[in-house]
Structure 1
């Protein structure tokens, strides 16, 4: 999937450079303008690819952090459940002890 996305980006960059060359075709007498426009489109395409890679990296980081948070929440939930059960048992023992004292 990543290779397919990269190929699509590269094809779009090539199309962008070729269209730039077609736009400046009649300006071939001034080679500086044609080369400058081509380099500008190549750098713009490189910028788009770079941004795409950074966005993918951010998405992967978000997924990893979400997974970590989910695991941590599950651990906290189980810890709270254990503490709740212990507290209920202690309260039950206290109530049993008080009822025994009342009937003595």
Structure 2
């Protein structure tokens, strides 16, 4: 994962924190409220960022599993086609041998 994937998420977190600071601008007298609100918005932004990373990771895992399943299905299909062809050939040989026996 590249940092460029998360630029917009990081920008939105910064906007979230700045908007929180603007909202509590009148409460600068009480530093505890300002720090608490800022930490709360930072943790909320971090939560959103973490959730986005997990969703992207799950999406990549699903794509990898789908690709693996597709390859496995193709291999199974090729194997079944080979078995089908062998069975048809064997049945053809059996029918030929039976028809030869009947005409003798």
Q: Cα offset for 1:5?
A: 2.9
Give the TM-score normalised by the residue count of structure 1: 0.96
CA–CA distance in structure 2, aligned partners of residues 5 and 11 of structure 1: 12
The residue aligned with 2:28 is 28
What is the CA RMSD across the aligned residues, in angstroms?
1.1
CA–CA distance in structure 1, aligned partners of residues 3 and 35 of structure 2: 29
CA–CA distance in structure 2, aligned partners of residues 67 and 37 of structure 1: 45
* Stretches of structure 1 lacking an aligned partner (at least 5 in a row): none
Give the TM-score normalised by the residue count of structure 2: 0.96
Q: Is 1:92–2:96 an aligned residue pair?
A: no
The residue aligned with 1:52 is 52
- The count of corresponding residues between Structure 1 and Structure 2 is 104
Q: Cα offset for 1:7?
A: 1.1
Residue 45 of structure 1 aligns to a residue whose secondary structure is helix
Taking the TM superposition and a 5 Å limit, the aligned residue runs for 1:66-77 are: 66-77=66-77
Q: Deviations over 1:41-88 (max 9, x none)?
A: 000000011001101100110010000000000000000000000000
CA–CA distance in structure 1, aligned partners of residues 39 and 3 of structure 2: 24
CA–CA distance in structure 2, aligned partners of residues 88 and 7 of structure 1: 60
Q: Which of structure 1's runs of 4+ aligned residues deviate more than 4 A?
A: none
